[in-house]
Structure formats: structure tokens, C-alpha cells
Copies of this chain bind each other. A is one copy, B any other.
């Protein structure tokens, strides 16, 4: 019996990297789930990451890389020798290859491509021109196709003969081409099983299969798979020649990423995700680019207060309530933004229906504005014993809540209608306008009632 304490996965990995036991290293990596892989890779230094990937077989390294966020995978690839990177990329499906190379500078990508298997490289070169959020960028090119003039027995014989070679492919759906090379239809593997050897496959294929063009957008693909319970959809060019399959699972993964990126964007993490393994200066700079616009907007909003300094200096108690009005209006408005973003994404509302949404928000604004106004007015009254102060701050918050939910509900639709990303721009626009309106309302009301408020 040894009295060793249990070794953490990270220490174990670092030890295995130092020792010369590649078998044990491979076994260790294969035993990890995807969260554990991401976690360990996020804790290794760059040179340790590279070292690890080189020590694994290219197949193992590829399946490890597939677990990582694309940006992180791309950064690691960037730091590797092109030949090593190419060996790993060779083992990935075409959509993952393209996603990673897409993140690199074109000369780096070219260097890696020159070391890759020529067939794989040719595929990638063709795919990399497509936007990753289109059918051309999302499709895989690993699928099986047969000409339509074959018989069931011939297809089965061919499948049996090339069993090894096809083992990695998903052969539950076979794609059938006409003799001129254009796409004809889909053959489900169970229909081979249910038919006699002599049956022409033309009799059992599903002929009128929906296809999508290469530039079909992710949004439309999400919608497509929501409507159709298909495993994948064939992608065809303008001549109806098939080039790949977009799989439902890849679209659903892209959907989850999209929801997650939208959240990041709305909180000011702009231009892709930030991982804390990225260089400090890059992280700080990315965040600052958004913050510096915000501070400018904040200064503009605060200028409303600057114009009312006289009122404020006679009613200093107001200074306590201005940040509250600003923050609470922001909260109410952001709730409405979030509901609009959700309704836009599921299709419950279209970007042209701002008026309809406004009608639906105004009621909420009225109820919540009155309630919040009452609460803060009461707090002001209890604190200073001035009914007028309560009326001023309560009234300002009540009206500004209506302004905030009206804007919050409609701004995402209006932005989307104009082709501006609502996840990114709604928040800053909303808070600037509601801050200005809130400060203006509170200070104007106070200046009107100044005779009842002076000295508070």
C-alpha cells in the first residue's frame, strides 16, 4: 500500500508529458470527456499544448481538437509547425477543418494546406470561400453517392466490398445522382434492406428531396430543421450538382453557439468569444473597444445633469435618486429587449412589427412604472418627509419606465429592420436614451417644484 495522495488530472497530464510514456498519455486523453479536455487544455501553457498534440496520434489529436472552441483550436494550430498541424487536420471532418483554417491568416492557412492530403486540401480550398454561417460553410463533404441506374444488389455489394473504407462514414443515407451528375434523391439504408436485389434503386429512392443552395443562411437552416425532422439536407450548386450535406446536429450546435454569442455581445464581449487563455492585451483591448463607446454615451447622458446643476445644488437629495432612476430604467428596458430578442429568434414577431410590440409593452410599462414609481416615491417621502420630493422622483421613474420598456421592446426590431445587429446595439442605445430622459424628467420636475424642495 502506498500513501500517495490522489493526483489531479492536470498534474497527471503534466507528469505524462515529462515522462516518455506515449501509450499512457493516449489512454489518459481518450478517457476524458469533452469538458475535461477543454478544462485541461485551458490550464496548459501554449508549448505544453503543442507538445501534447504532437505526442498523440494524429487521430487522437484531431478528436481532442474537435472538443475545443474554434478560436482556441485555431490559436494552437497557429503556433504549431505547419506539417504537424496538417497531419492533425487531415483527420478532421471537412466542416471542422474549414472552421479552424477560416480563423487563421491566409498565408498560415496556405502553409498548412500545402502539407495536407491533396484531396482533403482541395476540399477545404473549395469550402473555405464560403461564409461559415451558410450551407456551404456548414456542410460536410464526407458522404456516399451512387448513380441512379444501379440496382439494390449492386449497391449492397459495393457497400460490402468497401466496408472498411466506409466505416467512418455515416452510411444510413445514400445520395443518388443522375447520370449527368445532378442530384436525384436520397436512398435510406432500410429501403435497401426491404427490397429485392434486382430492384432498380430508382424505384425506392425518395425523389423529391428538398435541397438547399450553397449560400443558404444559418437562420434559414435552423428554421428548416425545425420544420423538417431530417437527419441532414443535401447542398447543391446552381446546376443542381450536389456538393455536401448539412447535418441537423451541426445546425443545432451552431444555433446553441449563436444564442451564446448573442448573450456575450449584449454584455459587451464583441467580435467572437473571449477565453481567458487569450493574451491579456488582446482581451483588455477587445473589452475596451466597447467600453470606450459606452463612456462617451454616458458622458452625453450625464450632460443633462450638468445643465441642471442649479436645481441639483438646491435639492441635493436628488443626487441620491438619479443613479437609481438610471439603473432601474435600464433594468426595465433590458427586460423588454430580452423578450424582443427571444421573440425575434423564434419568429413570434417580425422586425417590421415595432408598432404592435409597442402596444404590447405600453401596458407593462404603465403597471410596472406606477409600481416602481410608488415604491421609490415612498422611499423618498419616508427619508426626507417631503411629499413633493416623493412625487418628483416617483413621477420621473414612473414615466421613464414607460419610456424604457417602449424603447426596449421596439429598438431591437427597428435595428434589425435596418440591418444592424440588435444584440450589440440595443443595450447602449437604450441606456443612453433612458438615462437622458430620466435625468431630464427628474430635474425638470424638480425645477418646477423648486419652491417646495429647496434645501432637501
Contact = CB atoms under 8 A, between A and B. Distances in A.
Interface of A: 33-36, 38-39, 42, 67, 69, 156, 159-160, 163, 171-172, 189-190, 192-194, 223-224, 226-227, 248-249, 252-253, 255-256, 259-260, 262-264, 266-269, 273-277, 280-281, 283-284, 287-288, 290-292, 294-295, 298-299, 301-303, 305-306, 309, 312-313, 316-324, 326-328, 330-332, 334-335, 337-339, 341-343, 345-350, 357, 360-361, 363-364, 367-368, 371-372, 375-376, 379, 383, 431, 435, 439
Contacts of A292: 371-372, 375
Contacts of A327: 294, 298, 326-327, 330, 431, 435
A274 B298 CA distance: 30
A33 B160 contact: no
A350 B38 CA distance: 11
A273 B305 CA distance: 37
Most B CB contacts (10 A, CB to CB) among A190, A193, A299, A372 go to A190
A40 to B, nearest CB: 10
B371 A288 contact: yes
A160 B163 CA distance: 24
B375 A295 contact: yes
A67 B328 contact: no
A34 B323 contact: no
A189 B274 CA distance: 43
A227 B67 contact: yes
A328 B226 contact: no
A342 B298 contact: no
